[in-house]
Amino acid sequence: MGKSSKKLGKVPKDSIKTFYDGRLTMFTAVKGLVRDGEFAAKLVQNLKPDLLALGLAPEDLEGLRYLRKRLQQKKKYEPDLSNIDISFVNHLSNFGDVDAPPPCFTMALDLADKLEIPVTTLDLDNSTHTNIYVKSVDLTDLLRQSFRFRAMRRKRFDIKTPEEFVLTWDRLLNKAKGFRVVEGSRELCMGETLKLLMDKNKGFKVLAIIELERAQGVIDWMITPPEKKKSQKTKKKAPK
């Protein structure tokens, strides 16, 4: 769903993390960058995991497979991008070829299905995500994000790497408390789902692909002891 004509180098070591005595490999990907889609596919090819876990909502996985069928039937596809998404992609294109949906998920999924590797998802389902959003994000948060985005859209980022750019963009865009709660809830869900998956499949090799912006939070929740996790959940409880 996205191709690059440039020769692909090695997957950056900083983008790969291993856990569970090497059974779990996590690729922290830059969403939208074709390069990271090719890296993700390369990891699927080289590792041939027993399971591919994507940092997506269950409905998004179904959507990607439906999209693939449409493309195979040579039907037109126009990505439904918000103004924020369009601006993000425009900025990200300074670092390489871009595509939508995120190649880190589409290219990995295409190859996993071809190799008959089972695929699962880690993120909140759409209904749960919507409920958390409605409870957490108020009008003030929306206005603050809108004003901040206007400045970000015109901003010239003096940044040298795509990794630094996406982390900076995420920090600025989600500065309001409500949006931080939503993204933190996603991290919690993905971290706990990944831990449960690894605990239930002791002999499995798993490749997880997580967007870079959420990766550290996912890791933190995945490795946090249960007793500490309980107290942190209480502190981070979304406002009513």
> What pLDDT, on the 0 to 100 scale, is given for residue 153?
75
Strand partners, 18: 25
> What pLDDT, on the 0 to 100 scale, is given for residue 232?
57
> What pLDDT, on the 0 to 100 scale, is given for residue 158?
84
User: Which among 19, 80, 60, 93 has a CA at the least distance from the CA of 186?
Assistant: 60
In this prediction, residue 129 has a pLDDT band, given cuts at 50, 70 and 90, of very high
> What pLDDT, on the 0 to 100 scale, is given for residue 69?
81
In this prediction, residue 5 has a pLDDT band, given cuts at 50, 70 and 90, of very low
> Is it the case that residue 238 has pLDDT exceeding 90?
no
> Is it the case that residue 6 has pLDDT exceeding 60?
no
Strand partners, 52: 119, 207
> Is it the case that residue 235 has pLDDT exceeding 70?
no
Q: Could you tell me whether strands 206-211 and 16-19 are parallel, antiparallel, or unpaired per DSSP bridges?
A: unpaired
In this prediction, residue 239 has a pLDDT band, given cuts at 50, 70 and 90, of very low
Residue 148: HSE in the Cβ half-sphere, 13 Å Cα cutoff: 15
Say what the pTM is. 0.87
- Residue 240, Cβ density class (10 Å: 0-12 exposed, 13-18 middle, ≥19 buried): exposed
> What pLDDT, on the 0 to 100 scale, is given for residue 161?
95
Average pLDDT, the chain: 89
- Helices within the chain (DSSP H only): 34-47, 58-72, 83-92, 103-114, 126-136, 139-154, 162-173, 177-200, 212-223, 226-235
3-state SS of 133-193? Answer: HHHHCCHHHHHHHHHHHHHHHHCCCCCCCHHHHHHHHHHHHCCCHHHHHHHHHHHHHHHHH
Contact predicate 90/240, CB 8 Å: no
